[in-house]
Amino acid sequence: MHVQEESHTSIMNQCHLFKKASSGYINLVSSTAESTFNSKFEDSELEYLLMQDLYRVIFSEGIRDAQDKLKGLYQDYSNENENRIFLEMEAIQKEYELTLEVEEKEKLKQMIYRLERAVNEKEKLASDASTDLAKEKEQFELVTQELNAVREHASRQQRLSRSIGAN
């Protein structure tokens, strides 16, 4: 917008200067023309040349203004394109990071599942071992009781045989 205002002001200033210069030039030319040739044809030709110069200035300013606007638009487009590319690259990077994170979480889930299975197997083995140990202990106690009963019986037999032998 600022470039447009400057361009418009520049065109207006040039038109004003051109108008001033051309009116002075026209006055000078017309007084010279009246004194020397006094011809309508020459006046209209001079007016035509002045108008042609005026149009040339206006059109060249318009073209310059349009070029400035195009440069600004191209710069805006270029900046937006760079931003879009940057954002696309950033999105691709984030997507890649998320994919890695999902894969890592999946590996961790599988590891947790394997560890849970291993713990369950160890607990089952420990439970089975505990049950087997309890059975072994029970059998040991029964054997110990039987052994004690046999010892007691043997001890009684010995005492009995001593008492019979002593008699």
pTM of the model: 0.43
Q: Is the pLDDT of residue 16 over 80?
A: no
Number of domains in the chain: 1
pLDDT in tens, 87-121: 999 999 999 999 999 999 999 999 999 999 999 99
pLDDT in tens, 118-132: 999 999 999 999 999
CA dihedral 107, 112, 116, 119 (to 10 degrees): 100
Given this model, what pLDDT does residue 12 score?
Answer: 65
Determine the Cα–Cα distance for residues 17 and 14; give it in Å rounded to an integer: 5
The residue segments making up the domain with residue 16 are 2-166
Helix axes 40-166, 2-36, angle to 10 degrees: 170
